[in-house]
Structure 1
Amino acid sequence: MDDSNVSYTAVSSSNVSAVGYDTAFKRLWVKFKSGDVYAYESVPSHVYLDMLRAASVGSYLWRVVRANGTDSLYAYAKVR
Structure 2
Amino acid sequence: MIEDTVFKHLRTMLKREHALPVQSCRVSQPVQRPWGRTYRLVEWTTATDAPSHRCVVPAEFTDTEIAQLVATHVPGRVYADLAR
- State the TM-score, normalizing by the size of structure 1: 0.40
Higher share of residues assigned strand: 1
TM norm structure 2: 0.39
Higher gyration radius (CA): 2
